[in-house]
A and B are shown apart, each in its own frame.
Chain A
């Protein structure tokens, strides 16, 4: 009996059976997953930079320890995701090279600078908050290793958002200057956070097929709306405002309407012209090059140990 692999694959997707590394899959499905998972991994890794900048300047030892733990989590999340991508037959070195040469993209949000301590709060609340909505959805993605990585990441991620909100909460109850700093950070991070969900559904090139293959389970616009509805409630606790005059409850839709997103800015940053694109890539290249001797030494040491053991056995 001849098996039609494509039908078998589609029937698995249909029945919510996860696709595993050695299962047959369409080449496009493999490529899409490699692209999405590696971009996701790169985002975790580059995402360490804006926060890393504040580790030495955190206002207290407690905040410093928390920030360190969060940045370490992000390194871990990057590793979970790189491992998931590697099951699709792309090597870690290839992915690293794609990141360092600028061939691969990462979330554009990390091309914005972190100017004040309040940015650590706004990044946690808004940027991680937006990421979590996407990641919760991806716990149900159809590719098994990706879904499992996401489950682990989601478990750890809620601390990130909560610590960010708490930073803002403390500032919002502080001096006049601290309140102003809090509002300023929210103003600067709000719109880029909305852009994190990607182009609107009518403009998004990858969405359709990804929905059919259940790589994505919700559209960009659905997730963005969910985020806006959530933030509108939470900002009240901070006694701050969101920088959008068009934010209004829509009784008919049962959602908040919001103002137009500046897509020109979005595409400029994607194309490499954001405030920090060059700085981020330079930092990653420097880290990779400066670390070369460590990688070489580790390999040499492992080799030497192996040889010694062989001599002992003989």
Chain B
């Protein structure tokens, strides 16, 4: 029997090696699904599903997430390939942008005569 390692969406991937679950050696791998709702928009994460391979993942994604014409394009990515930032480190991770309010247009006071800028 082949061994499938189990990962969960939002795991840190290689940092912690994912969460392996010994109880589910026969379970299909988990995939994350991204849907482009219409031409010109980004693909957006909509959820996840289990599938044995790419073809099954795309077909299942169509059946599960686009039953009402919600999409024109589907991406599937095996969940174990997703690497996420650690919420416990959020403070230090985003700290550099905290004190740079001059990056926002409202930081600059200009006379009204300038008009819309």
Q: Which residues of A contact B (CB under 8 A)?
A: 20-24, 69, 72-73, 76, 79-80, 83, 86-87, 89, 91-94, 148-149, 152, 156, 295, 298-299, 301-303, 305-306
Contacts and interface: CB of A to CB of B under 8 A. Distances in A.
Nearest to B85: A22
Contacts of B106: none
Nearest to A159: B68
A83 B28 contact: no
B27 interface: yes
Contact of B86 (A22, A83, A149): A22
A27 to B, nearest CB: 16
Contacts of B11: 22
A246 to B, nearest CB: 41
A92 B49 CA distance: 10
Contacts of A22: 10-11, 84, 86-87
A93 B9 CA distance: 17
B68 to A, nearest CB: 7
Interface in B1-54: 2, 6, 8-11, 19, 21, 23-24, 26-28, 30, 46-50, 52-53
Given A73-B67, A76-B63, A149-B47, A21 B9 contact: yes
Nearest to B79: A86
Given A22-B87, A295-B26, A299-B26, A91 B6 contact: yes
A301 B2 CA distance: 12
Nearest to B33: A83
Contacts of A298: 28, 52-53, 56
A79 B31 CA distance: 13
B9 A87 contact: yes
Interface string B48-71: 111011001000000110011000
Contact of A92 (B19, B24, B86): B24
A69 B68 CA distance: 11
Contact of A86 (B48, B53, B63): B48
B26 A23 contact: no
B23 A93 contact: yes
Given A20-B10, A299-B52, A89 B27 contact: no
A93 B26 CA distance: 9
**Contact residues of A: prevailing secondary structure:** helix
Interface in B83-112: 84, 86-88
Cβ-closest 3 pairs across A and B: A298-B52, A302-B53, A93-B24
Contacts of A73: 67
A302 B52 contact: yes
Contacts of B30: 86
Contacts of B53: 298, 301-302, 305-306
Nearest to B2: A303
Given A20-B10, A72-B67, A94-B24, 6 more contacts: A24-B88, A80-B47, A87-B10, A156-B67, A303-B2, A306-B53
A94 B6 CA distance: 13
A156 B68 CA distance: 9
A91 B24 CA distance: 7
Given A20-B10, A149-B47, A299-B2, A91 B67 contact: no
28 contacts: A21-B8, A22-B11, A22-B86, A22-B87, A23-B87, A24-B88, A69-B67, A72-B63, A76-B64, A79-B64, A80-B64, A86-B30, A91-B6, A91-B23, A91-B24, A92-B50, A93-B24, A93-B26, A94-B23, A148-B47, A152-B47, A156-B67, A295-B26, A298-B52, A298-B56, A299-B26, A302-B52, A302-B56
